[in-house]
Each structure stands twice: as C-alpha cells, then as structure tokens.
Structure 1
Amino acid sequence: MFRHTKLLQFEAKPERPDPVYARKLQELIGGAYGEMTVTMQYLFQGWNCRMEGKYKDLIMDTATEEIGHVEMLATMVARLLEGAPSTVTAEAVKDPVMAAVIGGMDPQQAIVAGGGAMPQNSQGVPWIGSYIVASGNLLADFRANAAAEAQGRLQTARLYNMTDDPGVKEMLRFNLARDTVHQKQWLAAIEDLKADGLESSLAPTALFDEENQDHNNTVWHLSDGPDGSKGGWSFGAEGLEYLMKPEPLGGPGTAPKPDPALYGTYAPPPVGGATALRE
C-alpha cells in the first residue's frame, strides 16, 4: 500500500521560468538513468525479493523515496515551463545548442502535457521499462543499483553546472546528496550480503566446477595499450593471468545457407570449405 503526502520531499521552486532548462531537466525524469528508472528498478526488485527483512526494507524504502524524486522534478519542470510557449522563443534561441535543435522547450510539453513534465528524456524519447534491472539476485541487483546512482549523480552534477537559478540549484544540491547516500547504501548492502553468507564476490555463486577451467582466470591482451607487455592492469591480481598472445579458439564465423524464400545473397563456400567449417 502506498500513501501520497501532499508535500514535496524537498522544495522545487525556481527563481524564474526557463523552458530550455526544463527540457534539459527531463533527462533526470525519463532518461535511462533518471528517477523513473531507479523508481521502477527498486520497486520491482523489492516486489520480487524473496526474503523479508532488512534487504527488502532497504529496497522498498529507497523505491518509495524515488517516487518522491520524480514528483519533485515534475513539479520543477512545470514551474520552469510557466509562461511557455508564448514567451519561450526569444529566450530559447540564446542557447545555441538548443536553438540548433528546436529553439526551446519540447513541444510535447505544451501540446500533450499542457505545460507539464513528460515521462521522457531530454530529447523527447519516451521512458521504457527495459531500462530497469531486477534479476532476483541481490548481489547483481545491488551492483546495478550502485552504478545507476553513480550515473544519476553524474548527470545531476552536469545539470547543476548548466543553471544559475538559485532555486533549481538548491533542489539539485539535495538530489546530489541523496544520490551520494544511495551509492553508499548499495555498496554497504553488497558487503552485508557477503558478511551474511548470502553471496560472495561473484554472482551467481554456482557452476564454478562446470565452467571452462582453462578460461576462468585469463585476461586477454586484445588492445594496443602500452601496459600489455607489463601484464596489463591484472598484474599481481590474485586469480588472474594476463594472456599476452591469445589465439582464436573457433573456426570462421560464416552463417549457414539462407532459406531461399528470404532471398539472401549467398555463394557456396570453396571446395572443402563446408567440411572445414563443420570441423
């Protein structure tokens, strides 16, 4: 059960309207690493969690907070759009990047949302559910969560430097702080999973005896980086070997003869070629 409190988690009041920045801020709502993504990611992780207790509580607490972040950003976008589109064009073209693209706000913000936020990114691409990670394995999920919060904080930091509006900056300072906390909590939760004996360093903790034992500890030298001859970054790393001259282990990657009804261009392999491919 969810309940909505009619107060924002943090204030979202810009000093003045700015439809151009409103479009930029859409990235933090509906981008791949926006608040809609982490909201749905954590909700599905929580709903799918098979263990009652501290891990599920942590996921659901954070998921519910992220719903509030979407609300804050949507409110900020609506307030930044005040007075648009009738007054937007002259100001928009002062931003050469935005002027080159469209000259201001995303028109769907006016046409579809009536001057409000949209579930989409800064280019108007709709948010999609495939952005989320909810695998059921908490170690894999918590690592994905830490990465999502890192990307989200990075984008928030970039947007922080794209405005001089004190009200917008104040809200983004709060968002930066919460992204900091969430990165710390997911990294700490990973260590707790290990300490509680639920997971180790690798996910999943299965099939280690079944995997190819010749290739579970080698890092292949496949670039021209100068550190390759020194053993690469894995030099001295426990359980890793740097393979200086890796060789391909498979045959030619030739696709089979296509179905004639598909009209794919095809030439029979040279004599003996088919046999060689099969071998």
Structure 2
Amino acid sequence: MAYLGDNHDIISYRRDAKYPADIIIEKTNFSGHEAIHQYKEDGGYFTHLIITKEDWIIGIGGKDDSSINKRLEKLGSEIVSKKGIGKEDLEEANSILKENQWGFFIIKSPSEKVGLTAYDKRIEANTIEMFKINKGEYVKVTNNPNYCERGNFKEFDPDPLKAILKIAATDPYGLHRRDITLYEYNQGEVKVWASFDGGRLLEGATGSPDDIKFLGHEISSEEIPNVPNKKFLGNETLIQEKPKRLSITPIISMAIIVTLILIFIAYKD
C-alpha cells in the first residue's frame, strides 16, 4: 500500500500459485461497514483483501487453510468493530500464523496506523510491527518476513499507481506469479485495475493469468494485459451502513499466494 494522504491509498495484491482460480471482487457488509472484498473459491476459500468505506484495509496471505484464513478474517472484523489496533491483536494473529507454518496478516486503520505480522517456519523468520504510515510511504508484506519493507513509493515511479504496480511486479519472492489487482481508495470511492505478472519483470519466474469476477461481471484472463500495462475493471462507491452481521460468503481453502500493497504478497513453493 502507498498512503497519499487524506484517506487516499493505492493497494496492490498479487496471487502466486501453481493452479488457476477465479479472483472474485464484490461489495459486501463487513462488521457493519460496506466494503470491497477480494477472495477466491476454487481450491478452497481464501480472503485476500478487504477495504471498508471508512478506509480500514485488511490483507491476508499464506498457506492455504480455510479455517486459519477465517480466523484471521474474524480477528480483522473484531479490530474494526473496536476501532483500534492493539499489540495483543498482532500477537494473536502471529500465533494463528504459526499454526499454519507461514503467512501474513496486515491491517490499516483510517487514522493511518498499520499493524502487520509475518511468519515463515521454513526459514525460522518472524516479525510483528506497528507504526503510523506517512504520506508518500509504502509498505510491502509477504509470507517471508525478510521481504517485508517500507519506503517512499517515488523511488519506483512518481505516479503512485505505476509505482505500486512495479513494486508488486518486481518483488523477488514468488515463482508462479498470476494476477495483480490494483485498487485506488479515495474517501469511499474505489477504482480497480488488473494486470498479469507472469514474471515479466523478473528472470526465472513464470505464471498464468486468472479469470476475474468483478461485481458480477466476468473478465477473461485473455483480456488482462501484461505488466506494466493494466486493465481498468471499474469503480464503486462505498456507503456507510448501520451495523449488520458479517455477510462474507463462507467456503473452504488450499494454498494460495498473493500480493497486497499496502503491498500484500503470499506465496506457495
């Protein structure tokens, strides 16, 4: 994610996996807040990204396990409901990730506070961080804590959309690289693009694009251009509603791997 100031963010999420899965992007009600929800069902349910009307942003990645994913999603819902990120929340997320061997959880509040944790048992790496993101700053999180980073997005490109897409496409970790979804959130207005990574900007990486279902419209993988090009999928306005029950479609899961900029990135070897 890159933070541009005044509840204005650019967010990217990349899915890395050997198998195809439709990327589903729909409007939902999350903890009483209208939200955009990105997830997959093929091979099992896995939430990638949630963006609420109020500018709460939640990203989840890691080893594909529906029960773990749903627990992290529930934790995100509880944090949004209490309107604050605590150290104990990140410690709980970290504990859940450790049960799953690798993965990440990241959440950003409307007041620019970011909490993230990533764990990878395969390399005995672990991190928990909480900080306030500054205007012009980006943060990237992956399953491998050693690849998490922060910096100024202008180091990649003065245009924040191009910069965040480039950060996702040049991240070195991940061999089976699929779609990159790109979001611009600006005070409740959300614009969405898609691009196919396929290792185009890296040597040794490959991948195939996935079909996308965006607000009920189907976009064939053949329509998605290679990075650094992108296809505009559409836009949506989020409206704050009275609290209702969480209405995110229940399902099941298997190994996924993804990128969110904020950035969120998850990989399956």
Same-fold status (TM-score > 0.5): no
Q: Which structure has the greater CA radius of gyration?
A: 1
Q: Which has the higher contact order (CA 8 A, sep 6+)?
A: 2
Range of TM-score over shorter length: under 0.3
**Structure number with higher helix proportion:** 1
Taking structure 2 as the reference length, the TM-score comes to 0.24
**Structure number with higher strand proportion:** 2
Taking structure 1 as the reference length, the TM-score comes to 0.24
